[in-house]
Amino acid sequence: MRQKTCLALAKLVEIANFNFDVKRFSGNYSPTKVSKRELPSDEAIATWRDKITNSQWQWCFGMLATYGLRPHEVFHLDLEQFPRQAGVLRVMEGKTGERRVWPLHPESVEYWQLMDVKVPGCTGRNNKELGQRVS
C-alpha cells in the first residue's frame, strides 16, 4: 500500500512540477531481505494446545491452529452452521474482510472437537485489543 501511495504521489509531484523526493518514503522491500521464520511443528502446536487448561482458550487455540486465523477473527466467525461442508468456516470480518477459510488439517476439527463451540469470554473495543488479549 505504501508503494502504491508513493507511486501516485510521485506522479502528482511530477505533474505539479514540485521538487519533492517521494522515494525516501516508499520503503525498501525485496524478497531477498525477508528473514526466514521459524514455525513450530504440528507436534509442538498439538503439545502446547494440550497444555492449556481452560477449555475455551483451548478451543480458541485449536481454531487458530486449524484455520490459520488471526487472533481477533475468533470473535468474528459465523458459527451457526459450523462445521459446514468439509469444515469450511466463514470469517465475518477482520483485516481482510469477510471470507471463507478451510482447515489446514481437516482431521483437527474432529480430533480437537472444535465443533463443540466454546468462544472465550473476551472483550475489546476493536480488533487490535481483541487480538492482544488472545495473544
d(CA 22, CA 53): 52
pLDDT recorded at residue 65: 94
d(CA 127, CA 133): 10
User: Does the pTM of the predicted model rise above 0.95?
Assistant: no
Residue 131 has pLDDT above 80, yes or no: yes
Give the three cell numbers for residue 123: 472483550
Mean pLDDT over residues 76-82, rounded? Answer: 85
Distances (CA, A) of 69 to 12, 16, 21: 38, 44, 39
pLDDT tens-digit profile of 4-52? Answer: 888 888 888 888 888 888 877 777 766 666 778 888 999 999 999 999 9
Mean residue pLDDT of the chain comes to: 86
pLDDT recorded at residue 10: 86
pLDDT recorded at residue 66: 93
pLDDT recorded at residue 31: 66
Find cell 491452529 and name the residue: 65
* Per-domain boundaries in the chain: 2-28, 52-134
3-state secondary structure of 99: strand
